[in-house]
Amino acid sequence: MALYYGSALFGMSIFSFHPSNITLLWLPFGIAVILVHQFGAKALPFIFLGSFFANYPGMSDESTYHDLHTAVAAFADTLAPYLSAHLIKRYANNYFDNIKILFPFTFYGAIIPTFISSLIIALNLASGGYIRYFDVCGFILMLMFADALGLLLLYPLYESYKTLSKPTSKEWKNAFLYTLLALLLIWSSFYFHYLIFLVLPLLLIPAFHLRMHVLMGILLIVVIGIIALSADNPKNIFDVGTQMESILMLITYLISLVFVIIGTSLHHAELIININLTNTDNLTKVKNVKAYKERINELISNFERYKIPFSMMIFDIDDFKMINDTHGHRAGDIVLMELSALVQKNVRHTDTLFRVGGEEFVILCPNTALHDAIDVANKIKNVVENELTVIPNQRITISIGISQVKEEDAEDTLYRRVDGLLYQSKQNGKNKITFSH
């Protein structure tokens, strides 16, 4: 209740007008949806009480039946998050992790519940003499926008903080920079109104580079900044027509800003995931043949242009067919997965591991001469022999071939040469490293 009540008072203090308990950003709605999502129906009495006590001071002097009208408003504020949480669970699976979820989340989580609650609140205010019946439609729109804005700002922030790791120091620095630039633009917009439209392209930059929880923190501060500065300024940025028209234009701008930035971030994240999936081996989760082709061609191109050397090693698991035949293909899959994870952990951060065949792997070592690549290979061979113990009483080893790129090399000539060196390692007794200049 304290969280809901405190956020309600905060919202009323940064942008409110007659009656004083109406605000353009209703963060309590987003908080209430999260509370219902987290605690279920147990949260409803606390939401009701928080809303009642937050609304009461602004409604107590306007009507004889102010207790009743305040209770009706609190009921509407409790009903909306209850409906929203259940509709989100049913139609958006409670997650906010891809662009496809944005429309059902907005429609079922924000529009439907807030329309019902806003209709109740607006008619309640009109019947109590707080507003004119003429203004009911405008108030419904405004309340819907304010609630939807609160949900769009807080729910993605809540969900992303649950699933993502803590922001890095670099992300914090970038977030501070973009927030500062956006607030400077907003402040300047009250003197040069057209500058407000530059906030969107500015925030598109972090939408492509920062993770969702960091981006939503920036958006929350930016929206609060716009509303807070508007409250202190005698003229709205969108100073057109009546006060209601100006306010509706402002909050429509804010909804559009938040919707576009969130949608862009979700779509970009989804594209990155799809790209990674097309370049990743399904079983081992290391890079696949497609990714190998792209990387080897890049390294050869750099070698031809700038003479930047690199080395390639190919290795496979000794007697892997026997492991499959003796212990089953499931055991073979586990060996492949554990081997990949072990090798991935022990290569240098500049090296890349690829699975290019059943039990065959490639490691590309950029800007690496042959003698350095041999050191890497020795480390990997020893680690696999000593630490890969997924099958009891079964020693698992690998054979490796290594070569450095030559002037006349293309992708196929280099691969054939290294593959031939791997074959020599097999012929020489396995668990060996064979290399050539």
Any idea which residues carry the catalytic annotation? 359
Residues composing the chain: 437
Question: CB-side exposure of 225: number of CA atoms within 13 Å?
Answer: 20
Strand pairing category for 352-355 and 433-436: unpaired
The values of phi and psi at residue 309, to 5°, are -75, 160
What's the per-residue H, E or C state across 334-403? Answer: HHHHHHHHHHHHHCCCCCEEEECCCCEEEEEEECCCHHHHHHHHHHHHHHHHHHCCCCCCCCCCEEEEEE
Q: What residues contact residue 406 under an 8 Å CB cut-off, 6+ apart?
A: 414
210: left (phi over 0), alpha (psi -120 to 50) or beta: beta
- C-alpha–C-alpha distance, residues 49 and 54, integer Å: 8
- For residues 131 and 121, what is the distance between their CA atoms, to the nearest angstrom? 11
Using DSSP, state whether 316 is helix, strand or coil.
strand
Distance CA 40, CA 37 (A): 6
Report which secondary-structure segment, H or E, holds 312.
Answer: strand 310-317
Residue with tokens 């890349």: 352
Helix axes 112-127, 66-91, angle to 10 degrees: 170
Three-class SS of residue 313? strand
